[in-house]
């Protein structure tokens, strides 16, 4: 069967895919701290993309290692901590596109963590000045600085006559139009997709108090600030996987919003797990497999990929479970790692950034198109393991402000009549944020993974309605304090008992 969106008819064109990895991540090296590196989802999805699509279109992947992957231990530490080298990564990836783009080509920008920031910055640069011509690339360093400081009233360019004399601020439309008039750029370049995992920091760089106090996190961080989180109309599709259980405040995600009149197709989905659970890189990759399946599903209409690669990755994780725990964990029950303890990410609760100074405001983001992944519900309602396998999963970033609603319509007895409406509704009218967060659907590849656990998949399809009597509502029953050593002997039976008690149906695998 032909994949929608991949059929020809446009003549010869190619797909240019820029893949930007996270901090200290380098798939070209293959090792980390003397061990075999666990690849991130940026690396894995890059390897899943076919070199040539089924209809003969070249799909060219340009991979960029994350910041903090080169030099001595000290230089790697500084690069990873303060983001040194981010601007260089942006310029290198942008240059690849500018050098290789021809009219009609399709551009894809992929990234994780600060690599997601890089991908989004490239998209912003293209939105501001298009793609420079080969002639225009000679002036890229100065043009980049002009765009970077476009909202700084005190900015004095080092080279006021480059790329042309008497240049206005790059925020003035005349700047880009003059570049085009002189044959230095091509404007109105569409970006087919920006696809990212957990963009770090609403201001682009994770803010670490100690490094700010001693002056290590100043110049580079300011120079690479996200001045706003709005989407440009040049971006046709934008997808982001977000980590619900990331507790480090400096790793708070940059959630997109659609400004008035924006035409971008936007989907942002919250998954259980911390930053690298969702973006990949931990030994237990189950949650990363789930978010990878979701992202591959979003890209399926636009890129030709090897489905079998996803299932090969899932099989590798099953081997890891058998080796370390003796049993395969149920779908959505992968280990959630935690680097620190603190406030969790808050789904639906993010504010805008002032585009003039880069500071957070009190205005809640609007039109964020946020969804909650079904794996959050199955893990939470079936009392899967909590963070670091301690206690039961609480999903605190969600449940402290939202409650689950499962609605089958006026006759809740007819559970088998169709899929229910599932959403998370804000608990208090006085709480700011998105009022309702719908549950995301499971797409084709995701369903194939989830069906490997028929009992959990059946619960996903037919959960009990929430409009029940008080007697039927059970208080959460925590699991053992340290589930890690006992998961092999208790987990499978524990899941089955919860499904039986909760009233999940036993119907077939209806789509």
Tokens (6 digits) for 337 = 């790692």
Q: What are phi and psi of 497, to 5 degrees?
A: -65, -35
**pLDDT tops 60 at residue 282:** yes
Q: Give the whole-angstrom CA distance, residue 62 versus residue 96.
A: 8
Q: Give the whole-angstrom CA distance, residue 148 versus residue 171.
A: 10
Q: Which of left, alpha, beta for 378 (phi over 0: left; psi -120 to 50: alpha)? A: alpha
Cβ-based neighbour number of residue 392 at 10 Å:
17
Angle, CA 43 vertex, CA 39 and CA 46 arms, to 5°: 150
pLDDT in the model for residue 13:
96
How does strand 14-20 pair with strand 58-64?
Answer: parallel
Cβ-based neighbour number of residue 489 at 10 Å:
12
**pLDDT tops 90 at residue 44:** yes
| Helix spans in 365-412 (H) | 374-381, 396-399
Q: Give the whole-angstrom CA distance, residue 76 versus residue 501.
A: 52
| pLDDT (tens digit per residue) in 293-325 | 999 999 999 999 999 999 999 999 999 999 999
**pLDDT tops 80 at residue 419:** no
Mean pLDDT of the chain: 80
Q: What are phi and psi of 190, to 5 degrees?
A: -75, 145
pLDDT in the model for residue 272:
97
- Range picked from 81-90, 103-112, 362-371, 392-401 for highest mean pLDDT: 103-112
> How confident is residue 409, by pLDDT bands cut at 50, 70 and 90?
confident
pLDDT in the model for residue 418:
63
Greater model confidence, 208 or 52: 52
Residue 241: name the closest of 288, 303, 202 by CA.
Answer: 288
Greater model confidence, 330 or 506: 330
pLDDT in the model for residue 304:
98
User: What is the percentage of the chain residues whose pLDDT exceeds 70?
Assistant: 69
Residue 221: name the closest of 23, 86, 356 by CA.
Answer: 86
Helix, strand, or coil here: 318? helix
Domains in the chain: ranges and CATH? 14-324 (3.40.50), 384-469+476-502 (no CATH)
- Report helix, strand and coil shares of the chain as percent, to nearest 5: 35, 20, 50
Greater model confidence, 353 or 184: 184
**pLDDT tops 60 at residue 3:** no
Is 258 within 8 Å of 266 (Cβ atoms)?
A: yes
Question: In the chain, count of helices (H) and strands (E)?
Answer: 16, 16
**pLDDT tops 50 at residue 502:** no
E strand or H helix that includes residue 208: none
Bond from prior residue into 131 cis (ω within 30 degrees of 0): no
**pLDDT tops 70 at residue 355:** no
**pLDDT tops 80 at residue 78:** no
**pLDDT tops 50 at residue 124:** yes
Query: b/e per residue, 339-354, with b = 16+ CB within 10 A?
Result: eeeeebbbbbbbebbe
pLDDT in the model for residue 395:
93
Angle, CA 234 vertex, CA 229 and CA 237 arms, to 5°: 75
pTM (predicted TM-score): 0.84
pLDDT in the model for residue 480:
35
CA distances from 13 to 101, 156, 234 (A): 10, 41, 19
E strand or H helix that includes residue 424: strand 421-426
Tokens (6 digits) for 486 = 């006992």
Tokens (6 digits) for 223 = 């120079």
**pLDDT tops 80 at residue 74:** no
Greater model confidence, 29 or 231: 231
pLDDT in the model for residue 434:
73
Least confident of 118-127, 159-168, 426-435: 426-435
Q: What are phi and psi of 250, to 5 degrees?
A: -70, -10
Least confident of 55-64, 186-195, 248-257, 368-377: 248-257
Rounded average pLDDT over 76-85: 49
> How confident is residue 371, by pLDDT bands cut at 50, 70 and 90?
very high
pLDDT in the model for residue 414:
58
Rounded average pLDDT over 320-336: 96
Torsion of CA 421, 423, 428, 429, to 10 degrees: -70
pLDDT in the model for residue 341:
46
E strand or H helix that includes residue 483: none
Greater model confidence, 508 or 266: 266
pLDDT in the model for residue 432:
64
């Amino acid at each position: 069967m032909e994949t929608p969106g991949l059929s020809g008819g446009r003549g010869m064109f190619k797909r240019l895919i820029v893949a930007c990895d996270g901090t200290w991540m380098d798939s070209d090296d293959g090792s980390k701290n003397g061990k075999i590196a666990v690849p991130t989802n940026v690396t894995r999805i890059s390897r899943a993309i076919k070199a040539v699509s089924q209809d003969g279109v070249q799909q060219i992947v340009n991979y960029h290692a994350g910041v903090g992957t080169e030099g001595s231990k000290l230089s790697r530490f500084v690069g990873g901590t303060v983001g040194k080298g981010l601007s260089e990564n942006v310029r290198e990836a942008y240059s690849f596109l500018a050098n290789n783009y021809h009219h009609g080509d399709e551009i894809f920008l992929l990234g994780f963590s600060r690599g997601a920031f890089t991908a989004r910055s490239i998209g912003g640069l293209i939105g501001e000045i298009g793609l420079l011509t080969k002639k225009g690339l000679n002036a890229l360093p100065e043009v980049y600085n002009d765009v970077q400081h476009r909202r700084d009233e005190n900015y004095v360019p080092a080279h006021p006559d480059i790329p042309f004399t008497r240049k206005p601020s790059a925020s003035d439309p005349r700047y880009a139009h003059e570049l085009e008039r002189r044959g230095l750029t091509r404007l109105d370049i569409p970006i087919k997709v920006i696809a990212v995992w957990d963009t770090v920091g609403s201001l682009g760089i994770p803010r670490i108090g100690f490094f700010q106090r001693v002056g290590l996190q100043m110049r580079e961080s300011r120079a690479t600030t996200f001045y706003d989180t709005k989407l440009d109309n040049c971006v046709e599709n934008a997808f982001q996987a977000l980590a619900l259980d990331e507790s480090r405040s400096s790793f708070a995600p940059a959630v997109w919003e659609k400004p008035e009149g924006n035409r971008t197709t936007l989907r942002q989905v919250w998954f259980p797990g911390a930053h690298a659970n969702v973006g990949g890189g931990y030994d237990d990759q189950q949650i990363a497999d789930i978010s990878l399946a979701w992202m591959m599903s979003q890209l399926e209409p636009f890129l030709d990929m090897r489905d079998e690669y996803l299932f090969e990755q899932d099989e590798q994780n099953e081997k890891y479970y058998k080796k370390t725990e003796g049993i395969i964990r149920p779908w959505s029950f992968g280990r959630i790692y935690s680097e620190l303890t603190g406030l969790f990410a808050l789904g639906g609760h993010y504010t805008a950034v002032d585009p003039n100074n880069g500071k957070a405001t009190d205005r809640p983001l609007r039109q964020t198109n946020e969804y909650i992944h079904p794996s959050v519900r199955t893990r939470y309602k079936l009392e899967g393991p909590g963070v670091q396998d301690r206690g039961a999963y609480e999903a605190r970033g969600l449940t402290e402000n939202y409650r689950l609603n499962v609605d089958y319509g006026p006759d809740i007895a007819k559970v088998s009549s169709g899929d229910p409406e599932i959403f998370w509704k804000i608990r208090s009218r006085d709480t700011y944020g998105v009022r309702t967060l719908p549950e995301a659907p499971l797409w084709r590849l995701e369903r194939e993974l989830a069906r490997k656990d028929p009992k959990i998949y059946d619960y996903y399809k037919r959960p009990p309605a929430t409009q029940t009597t008080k007697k039927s509502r059970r208080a959460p029953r925590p699991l053992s304090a340290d589930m890690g050593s006992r998961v092999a002997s208790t987990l499978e039976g524990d899941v089955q008992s919860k499904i039986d008690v909760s009233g999940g149906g036993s119907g077939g695998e209806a789509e």
